Chains A and B, each alone.
Chain A
Amino acid sequence: MGVFVCPMSGFDSSQLAAPLAVPAAATLDAFLRGVERRAWRVAELAIRQRDDAVDLVQEAMFGFVRRYGQRTPEEWAPLFWRVLDSRIHDWHRRHAVRSRWTGWLGRLGGDADEESDPLLAVADGREPGPLARLADREAGAALDLALRALPLRQRQAFLLRIWEGLDVAQTATAMRCSQGSVKTHLSRALARLREQLEPYQ
């Protein structure tokens, strides 16, 4: 089994004492600590709601620790992203159902209160979010916008492969699809992003 080195957090599984039957809590804590901010960004980009994104990350942490915490640290990264990806899909399914019901009830109610419209709770796509506060404000905002405009699967493939640094096989595990699908999603994501971000290159 290979060694997992997280480029973002500096977490290196080779530094651990040889395969632990029960990984030390400190190791698990270090892994989650290293991944939690990126997990929140991925969730926030996917659902456009900051508070719900924290809830999704928390649910993912619970699910990951419960189901996969006993696995070897080399296996953790794709499995954690797999759980989070699953939670994101669940969130979209729940909201799709809720939107259908609220839309139907809204039509029945005629002049329904605008505050009950779930679409109003969705962040404005033109609102760039945290990236807008960067020194390179325009490029950051454009990247944020372009990422939000991608279909979910393409965005996940891009973030997991390009940002998180998972390989194709790990990304396929995380996204619960074939490696061929990962390549297809990534290729389409890169084409769209390259086109939209060209003015900022």
Chain B
Amino acid sequence: MNDPRSEPWLERSRALLDESLHEIDAATLSRLNRARQAALGKAHAQRPLWLGLSVLGATAVLVLAFGLSRQTPVPATAPTPVVAPSTQADVDADLAVADPDSDELYENLDFYAWLAASGGPGQG
């Protein structure tokens, strides 16, 4: 089958469509330019996934450790808690299950890094 693009009327159609690109107004071209730069800028602002996951993992471990250390002694007569992991961790469960693709995670990355460096809440 012949290439449909080679038909004369289609070549003319392509030429007309190409010409129409030169008629796009300056305001639209400016907006397209800004859109492109914004898309590229956002891509550069994204940090590597492994960095986000590492910080998130370290934070989760610290929060869990903090929760365990803050467990109040249970009276001897009281039943032994069934749930060994901290209930404090539940508070921050959203951190542990945060979507690594989430923009929010990346936006708060500095905070998580600081939290990890300071040894968790109450220790820094």
Contacts and interface: CB of A to CB of B under 8 A. Distances in A.
B40 interface: yes
Interface of A: 8, 25, 28-29, 32-33, 36-38, 40-41, 50, 54, 57-58, 61-62, 64-66, 69, 129-131, 133-134, 136, 139-140, 143-144, 159, 161-163, 165, 186, 190, 193-194, 197, 201
Contacts of A163: 13-14, 17
Given A41-B17, A134-B19, A57 B35 contact: yes
Contacts of B13: 143, 162-163, 193, 197
B34 to A, nearest CB: 8
From DSSP, what is the main secondary structure of chain B's interface residues?
Answer: helix
B117 to A, nearest CB: 28
A131 B8 CA distance: 19
A57 B32 contact: yes
Contacts of B9: 194, 197, 201
Contacts of A62: 38-39, 42
Q: Which 4 A-B pairs have the closest CB atoms?
A: A58-B35, A61-B39, A130-B23, A65-B43
B28 A61 contact: no
B20 to A, nearest CB: 5
B73 interface: no
Interface in B1-23: 4-5, 8-10, 12-14, 16-21, 23
A156 to B, nearest CB: 14
